[in-house]
């Protein structure tokens, strides 16, 4: 199952680029988790 992640506004790109590498990796991890996992833990949506 693959979900499509839709960005609400372009602000996320600027925010993402302003983060250091470790934070960018965490953001990518969570987005991949949302895209590929059948059930996503609620803590990732808070």
Q: Flag whether 31 is in a domain.
A: yes
DSSP-assigned letters across all residues of 1-46: --PPP--SSTHHHHHHHHS-HHHHHHHHHHHHHHHH-SS--GGGG-
Report pLDDT for 41: 78
Overall number of domains in the chain? 1
Residue 46: pLDDT band by 50, 70, 90 thresholds?
Answer: low
- Kindly state whether residue 39 falls inside one of the protein's structural domains: yes
Q: Give the model confidence (pLDDT) of 2-37 as tens digits.
A: 888 888 787 888 999 999 999 999 999 988 888 888
Residue 35 domain boundaries: 11-45
Closest CA to 31 of 18, 22, 40: 40
Measuring CA to CA, which residue among 29, 24, 30 is closest to residue 42?
30
């Amino acid at each position: 199952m693959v979900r499509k992640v839709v960005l609400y506004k372009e602000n996320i790109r600027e925010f993402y680029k302003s983060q250091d590498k470790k934070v960018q990796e965490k953001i990518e991890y969570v987005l991949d988790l949302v895209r590929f996992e059948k059930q996503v833990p609620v803590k990732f949506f808070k």
